[in-house]
Amino acid sequence: MKGSLHQQIKNQLEQDTSSPNPQLSTSDPDSRHQIVRGTVTEVCYTAQTTVDAQNKILIDYKLTNANDKKAMGGMLARAKTILRTTHFTALYDKGYHTGSEFHTADHLGIATLVAIPAIGRKSQAPNPRYNAEYFNYNSDPDTYTCPQGHTLTSNGTQYKARNYTFKQYKTKACKTCVVRENCTTSKVNGKVIQRSQYTQNIQDNAKRIAQSGELYKRRQALVEHPYGTIKRQWGFNHILTKKGIQAASADLGLMLLAYNLKRLFKLKVSLEAAIKHSFLSVLKLLEGLERLKPKVYHQNTQNTSYAVFVGYRIHFNYF
C-alpha cells in the first residue's frame, strides 16, 4: 500500500512540468512549500494585499502560492485599475526588491519605496567605502568612475543571467591601485561592476528611499493594523478550507471583508460609502464561491493624490 502511494506521488511529480521545482501537497493541491521568515518554511498560501494608508482599509487582495519576488508589479497594476490613477506611493518590504518589478512599476508610472536588502557577503568590498554603490555611473559614454577616479569600461557584451542580462565593467588600473586590497579580493580581474537593464530602476528606488524621510517608516504601522486585528485579535491565522486556491481565496475574502466592515463602521462613514469601499471585496468573495461571473467594475475613489498604499504578505496554513 505504501509502495503504491509512493509511486502515485512520484508519477504526479514527474508529470508536473509547470515548475523547475515541482511540488505535491496532500493537504491542499494548490498550496506550496515556502520560506515564511528566515529559514522557517511552511506549506501555505501567500496573500498579497493593498491597504489605504489614510483609513487602513483593504482595497484589494490576491491569494497566491508563490513568494513575493514577482508580486509587486501585478498588484500595482490592479491598484491602478481600481483607483483610475497613479497618484499614490506604494510601500513594500525588502521581500519585494526585484529589478524587473521596479521596471514594471516605473512603466505604470507609480512611485515605489521598497526596503533595500543587505548586500551579500560576496558582493561586499573588504572596505564598505568601496562597495559598488559608491562607483558613479556615466550614461554617456557608458562608464563607471571609482572612488579613486579611475574609469571602468565594458566590452559591450550582454551576458545572460537567469532572469536578466548585464554588462561587466572593469579597469586595468586595478593592477597598480594603492587601495586595491580595500576594494576587491579578486587576484586576477580586479574590481568588476555588473549593470543590468534594471539597475537604473533599482537606483531610482534607493534615491526615493533616501528622500522619503519618515514616510517609509509608516509601512509597518499600516500593515500591522489589519493583520494584527485578523491574526492576533480574531485568531484567524489559518485557512479553514482545503479544496484549492479558489476556495482558500474565498475563505480569506470573508476575513478581509469582515475587517473592512468593522473598520468602516468604526470610522463612522455612511452606509453608502461603506458599500462603495467594500464593493471590490464582495465581488471577489462571490467570484471565489462561483455564485456569479461579474463584469469588469471600476471603483471611483476621490482624493487619491495623497494616498499611500502598502504591499504586504501574510502566510496561511492549515489546522
pLDDT at 1: 47
pLDDT tens for 34-51 read: 777 777 778 888 888 888
Give the separation between CA 166 and CA 184, rounded to whole angstroms. 20
pLDDT (average), residues 77-88: 92
Considering only CA atoms, which of 71, 70, 104, 98 is closest in space to residue 86? 104
Q: Are strands 143-145 and 151-152 parallel, antiparallel or unpaired?
A: antiparallel
Q: Provide the residue type at 204 as one letter.
A: D
> Degrees (nearest 5) of the Cα angle 24, 30, 36?
85
> Coil, strand or helix: which one is 36?
strand
Taking each helix axis from N to C end, the angle separating 218-227 and 245-266, rounded to the nearest 10 degrees, works out to 100
**What pTM value is reported for the model?**
0.77
pLDDT tens for 187-227 read: 888 999 999 999 999 999 999 998 887 777 776 666 667 88
Considering only CA atoms, which of 248, 257, 253 is closest in space to residue 32? 248
pLDDT-based confidence at residue 179 (cuts at 50, 70, 90): very high
Considering only CA atoms, which of 288, 264, 301 is closest in space to residue 57? 264
- In the chain, what percentage of residues exceed pLDDT 70? 75
